[in-house]
Amino acid sequence: MQYDFVRLMRQLAPDLAGEFARRALVLERIAAMAPVGRRQLAAKLQLPEREVRSDAALLKEEGLIDLNASGMMLTAKGQELLEAVQAFNRAVHGLTDLENRLAEVYGIDKVHVAAGDADEDESVLQDMGRMAAGRVRATLQSGSTLAVTGGSTVAAVARYMQSTTPLNVMVVPARGGLGRAVAYQANTLAAEIAQRLGGHHRLIHLPDGIDASAMQEMLKVPEVREVMDRLQRADVILHGIGRADESAQERKLPVPQMRRLEEGGAVAEALGYYFSRDGEVLLAASSVGVDLNRLKPSCQMIAVAAGKRKAQAIAAIVRRYHHAALITDEGAARAMLEMAEQQ
C-alpha cells in the first residue's frame, strides 16, 4: 500500500510540518542558487532572515551544507538528499497534482511545472531549464537527431544540459536566423547543446525570413540540403512558444500578414507558425525550418514556455500537436487549467 506521506505528516505532526517544509525549501533553494548568502536567500524566499539563519545553522550542523565567505552550498551529503527533497517540495506545494491534472486535460505525456511565475520572477526559468534539460536527456538515444529553436527559455535549457559520458547525437537548429541577440539564436543554442552533450551539430546559415523561391535555390547547395533533411527527420524537437502579437512585432511582419493574424485571432507562435486559439495554422512565416506537416510519426515534441500571460498560447499549441513533454511554470499551468474548466 502506498501512503501520502505529506498528508500523513500534516495529520500526525502539524506543529512540525511547517518547519520541515521550510527547511526542505531552504535546502533546495541553496542547491539552485549556490553559492548564496543568507540575506539573499531570505529575500528570495520572502522569509524572515532570522528563520533562514536558524535553518541554515541546523542544516550545517547536520552536514548538509557548507558556509563560507562566498555563501552557502550543498555538501556531498546534501546532494544525496536533493532528489528526495525536491520531490517532497513539489508534493507539499501541490505541483505534482498540478502536473498530473494538466497532463490529463491536455493529453500531454509528461508535464513538469516549476514553482512561481516567470512573469514576476525571471529566476523561475532556471528551474525550468534544469527540468527541461533532464527531460531532453532522458528522451535522447544514441544516434538521435535533436532540433532546437532559439529564445531565452531554450537558452536556459542549454545552460543545464550535460552528460556524464559523450552522447552520440546530432543537434540542428529548427529554424533560420532571427533578428534577436546572437546568444538566443537557434544556431548558437544548437552548437552549445551539442558541445555540452558531447555530440555533433550542423548549422543553418540562412535568415529565417528568406522567401520560398530563394529557399528552393538554396536547397541545391549540398550543405543546406543536408541540414534541412536532418531537421525534417528529427527524433526530438525542443521548442519555445511565444505570444502571436509579441512574435509578430519582433519579426516585423508585413502589414498584410499582421492584419491576417489579427483577423484570424492569432494567439500563439511556435517554430515559425502562427496559430489561432483553436490551434488552426493561420500563417507560416518561416521558409527555413521544420515542416510541421511532414514530421515523422515517432518524432517527440518537447515544449518549454512560462508565464501566465502565455497560458493561452501554450494551450493552443499543445492542443494542436501531441507533445511528449511540456515544461512550464505554476503561473501558466494554473491559468491553463482555469481556461480548460471554462470551456
- The CATH code of the domain that includes 29 is 1.10.10.10
Task: Let me know whether 107 and 121 are in one domain.
Answer: yes
Rg of the Cα atoms in the chain: 22
Cell of 221: 547547395
Least confident of 114-123, 220-229, 294-303, 330-339: 220-229
Task: Let me know whether 113 and 199 are in one domain.
Answer: yes
Task: Let me know whether 202 and 287 are in one domain.
Answer: yes
Q: How many CB atoms lie within 10 A of CB 298?
A: 7
Task: Let me know whether 113 and 54 are in one domain.
Answer: no
Last residue of a domain, one of 59, 74, 92: 92
CB 53 within 8 A of CB 37: no
Task: Let me know whether 153 and 37 are in one domain.
Answer: no
Convert the pLDDT of each residue in 46-99 to its tens digit.
899 999 999 999 999 999 999 999 999 999 999 999 988 888 888 888 899 999
Task: Let me know whether 156 and 301 are in one domain.
Answer: yes
- Say if residue 181's pLDDT is above 70: no
Convert the pLDDT of each residue in 4-31 to its tens digit.
767 777 777 777 878 888 999 999 999 8
Task: Let me know whether 16 and 117 are in one domain.
Answer: no
Angstrom distances, CA of residue 272 to CA of 35, 251, 294, 332, 342: 39, 10, 15, 22, 29
CB 102 within 8 A of CB 113: yes
Task: Let me know whether 244 and 107 are in one domain.
Answer: yes
- Residue 253's CATH number: 3.40.50.1360
Least confident of 74-83, 216-225, 235-244, 297-306: 216-225
Last residue of a domain, one of 43, 62, 92: 92
- The band of 2, judged by pLDDT with boundaries at 50, 70 and 90, is very low
- Model pTM score: 0.86
The set of residues, in sequence order, having a beta carbon less than 8 Å from that of 216 and lying 6+ positions away, is none
Task: Let me know whether 206 and 74 are in one domain.
Answer: no
Residue 142: burial class (beta carbons within 10 Å; 0-12, 13-18, 19+): exposed
Last residue of a domain, one of 74, 92, 110: 92
Task: Let me know whether 176 and 244 are in one domain.
Answer: yes
Span 187-198, mean pLDDT?
Answer: 96
- Say if residue 178's pLDDT is above 80: no
The residue among 287 and 125 whose pLDDT is bigger is 125
Least confident of 102-116, 207-221, 321-335: 207-221
Q: How many CB atoms lie within 10 A of CB 294?
A: 9
Strand order in the sheet with 200-201: 110-114, 325-329, 300-304, 236-240, 145-148, 170-173, 200-201
Number of structural domains found in the chain: 2
Span 94-117, mean pLDDT?
Answer: 94
Least confident of 24-38, 91-105, 122-136, 202-216: 202-216
Percent of the chain with pLDDT over 90: 65
Task: Let me know whether 87 and 99 are in one domain.
Answer: no
Q: Which domain holds residue 234?
A: 95-342
